[in-house]
Structures are given as C-alpha cells and as structure tokens.
C-alpha cells in the first residue's frame, strides 16, 4: 500500500486577487456611466453591454471569494479543503452567461422587427471608451492564473464584453452614418451569440469536474495500458483519474504485481511515470502481490476496466 502526493501548483493567489480587484474597479466605474448613456441613447446594444458588465462584476467578485475560500486548508469533513468552490463559481458564471444570452437573443429579434430610435453618436463614443476600459481589464485578468476555471470564467466574461463593445462601436458608427438603427440590434445579437458560446464552454468544463470525469488531456484506457507495461505489473483495476479542481488532476489505482517482486519499488516507478509523463503528482496507489488464489477476489468488485499487459 502506498501513496504519492505533490502540490507544487505555483499559483500566487495574492497576485490573482490584486489583478482581479483592479479589473473589478474599472468595470464598476464604467458600468454606472454606461447605464445612464444607454437609456439616454435608446441603445439596446449599450444596455446589453451594461447588463453584461454587471455580470462581469459579479463574476469577478465571485472569483475573488472563491480564491480566498479555496486557499483554506483541509479541515473537518472537507478533506480537500474548499477547492471546488472555484468550480461552483465557474459554473455560476457559465449559467449566468447562458441566461443573459437567451434574454438578449429575444430582445435583439424583437427590436429588429420594431426598431426604436438610436442615438448613433452616443453609442459610438461609449463603445470606443468601453473598448479601452475592457482592454485594460482583459489584460489584467489575462495575467492571472487562467489554468483556474474560476479565473477563466471571469476572463471569458470580460473578453465577451470587449467583443461586445467592438460590435457596439461599429453599430454606433453605422447608425450615425446611415441611420440604419437595426445595426444596434444586430450588434446585440452578435454579443448574445458570443455569450452563448462562452457559457456553454464553462458549464461543460465545470460539469466534467463535478462528474469526476477524466481531464480532457487524459485517456484512461491508454493510461492503463501504459502502466501495465511497467515490468512486474500483472494487472491494474479501479483506475480512476479526475480533477480535484481545475489544473489539479488526481489518480488512484489498485495494482497487482508478480509474487516475489518489490511492491514499493514498482509503486515508485509508477508514481514517477505519472509525474514525469503526465504531470500527475497527486496519486494514491494500492499495490499488492498477485496470486492465483486471491486475484479473482481482488477483481470481484472492480470499478471500470481491468487492465492487463499485452502478451508478447
């Protein structure tokens, strides 16, 4: 029986908090101004952007809370600590994006059918200023640890808002030059589609972690075959690969080795293989000697595929 553990993730949570806090301050300041201008200009694109910026602010605030909670050490029944709070935050961000996308898809279509008057100059000016603000916010968050799905969720919100302001500025220019007010609704429609795409990605990725699926970069079948190729291994079963939180994969397995061989040495070889080839440093391996008498008993309640070396 043995276990190998490593946690050198190299994440500076304090730096992430500073970067996210800077982005949050920018977003809140500009959002307040955009709401006023949006209603004054009668622009759905601006109001869409403002609502999206509100979710940006909520996403960043939630990310900040999640970073602080996930840094707490394991205690009581939470043997992994609160690391998956970050994934809850990412999933909340994804669901929010999907709900907003649905609402603005509906509003965009309705306004294309019955287009209201839109002040193109105000929309253009606000869109250009919004691009500048979101470029700075996007840059700040891009410097944080984006391997965290939580931070990535906040980044996707801000990035979509940047695209939204580009579309808004273009719409404002079109309205100003041509009087084609439906351009505003078309811009909102483009933003809604981008929100939909980002939301689906966040919900999908966070859902994989909650369902304890193997990370996308892992093929459990191929990994089982690779581990069985270690000299002395007779069989591997109960092989599980999952993510504790984003960027922190873990594995466990029951390994049967030939009688008379050193279980500890083989376990060490497998741990080194997992760490060096797959960057999987959090592993828990049970290693036993195989015999004709107890091999069936060991495998009677195995979960998933039993892996055995390919005969040569």
Do 135 and 227 have their domain in common? no
Do 140 and 260 have their domain in common? no
Do 205 and 235 have their domain in common? no
Q: What is the CATH number of the domain that holds 149?
A: 1.20.1510.10
Tokens 């376990």 correspond to 267
Residues 253, 267: Cα–Cα separation, whole Å: 11
Q: How big is the CA angle at 180 (ends 176 and 186), to the nearest 5 degrees? A: 105
Do 57 and 204 have their domain in common? yes
Residue ranges of alpha helices (H) inside 179-260 are 182-210, 220-228
Do 225 and 201 have their domain in common? no
Residue 17 forms part of a structural domain? yes
3-state secondary structure 16-45: HHHHHHHHHHHHHHHHHHHHHHHHHHCCHH
Do 236 and 290 have their domain in common? yes
Query: At 285, is the secondary structure helix, strand, or coil?
Result: strand
Query: Among 211, 244, 267, which residue terminates a domain?
Result: 211
Nearest to 145 by CA among 69, 51, 247, 239: 247
Residue 2 forms part of a structural domain? no
The tokens for 208 are 């994989």
Q: How big is the CA angle at 288 (ends 284 and 289), to the nearest 5 degrees? A: 155
For 137, phi and psi rounded to 5 degrees?
-65, -40
Residues 193, 213: Cα–Cα separation, whole Å: 28
Query: At 140, is the secondary structure helix, strand, or coil?
Result: helix
List the chain pLDDT tens, one digit each, 312 residues: 444 443 434 346 677 888 888 888 888 888 888 788 878 777 776 776 677 677 778 878 888 888 888 888 888 888 888 888 888 888 888 898 898 889 888 888 888 888 877 777 877 888 898 889 889 988 888 888 777 777 887 888 788 778 878 888 898 899 889 988 888 888 888 888 888 888 898 899 999 999 999 988 889 999 999 999 999 999 999 999 999 888 889 999 999 999 889 999 999 999 999 999 998 889 999 999 887 555 555 555 656 788 888 776
The count of domains in the chain is 2
Do 171 and 292 have their domain in common? no
Tokens 């391997």 correspond to 147
Do 224 and 207 have their domain in common? no
Nearest to 110 by CA among 36, 169, 189: 189
Do 199 and 255 have their domain in common? no
Domain around 288: 220-307
């Amino acid at each position: 029986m043995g276990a190998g553990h490593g946690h050198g993730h190299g994440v500076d949570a304090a730096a992430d908090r500073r970067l996210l806090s800077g982005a949050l301050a920018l977003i809140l300041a500009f959002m307040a101004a955009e709401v006023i201008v949006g209603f004054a200009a009668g622009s759905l694109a601006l109001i869409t952007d403002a609502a999206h910026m509100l979710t940006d602010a909520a996403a960043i605030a939630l990310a900040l809370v999640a970073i602080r909670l996930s840094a707490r050490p394991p205690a009581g029944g939470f043997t992994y600590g609160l690391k998956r709070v970050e994934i809850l935050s990412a999933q909340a961000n994804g669901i929010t994006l999907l709900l907003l996308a649905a609402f603005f898809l509906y509003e965009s279509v309705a306004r294309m059918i019955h287009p209201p008057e839109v002040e193109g100059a105000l929309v253009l000016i606000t869109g250009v200023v919004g691009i500048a603000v979101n470029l700075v916010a996007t840059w700040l968050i891009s410097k944080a640890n984006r391997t965290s799905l939580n931070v990535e969720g906040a980044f996707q919100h801000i990035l979509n808002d940047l695209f939204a302001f580009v579309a808004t500025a273009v719409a404002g220019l079109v309205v100003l030059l041509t009087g084609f007010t439906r351009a505003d609704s078309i811009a909102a429609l483009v933003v809604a589609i981008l929100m939909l795409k980002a939301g689906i990605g966040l919900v999908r990725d966070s859902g994989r972690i909650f369902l304890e699926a193997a990370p996308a970069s892992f093929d459990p079948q191929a990994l089982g075959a690779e581990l069985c190729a270690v000299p002395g291994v007779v069989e591997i079963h109960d092989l599980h690969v999952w993510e504790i939180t984003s960027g922190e994969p873990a594995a466990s397995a029951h390994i049967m080795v030939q009688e008379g061989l050193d279980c500890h040495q083989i376990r060490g070889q497998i741990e080194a293989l997992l760490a060096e080839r797959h960057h999987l440093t959090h592993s828990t391996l049970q290693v036993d000697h195989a015999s004709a008498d107890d091999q069936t008993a060991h495998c009677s309640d195995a979960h998933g595929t039993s892996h055995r070396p390919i005969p040569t």
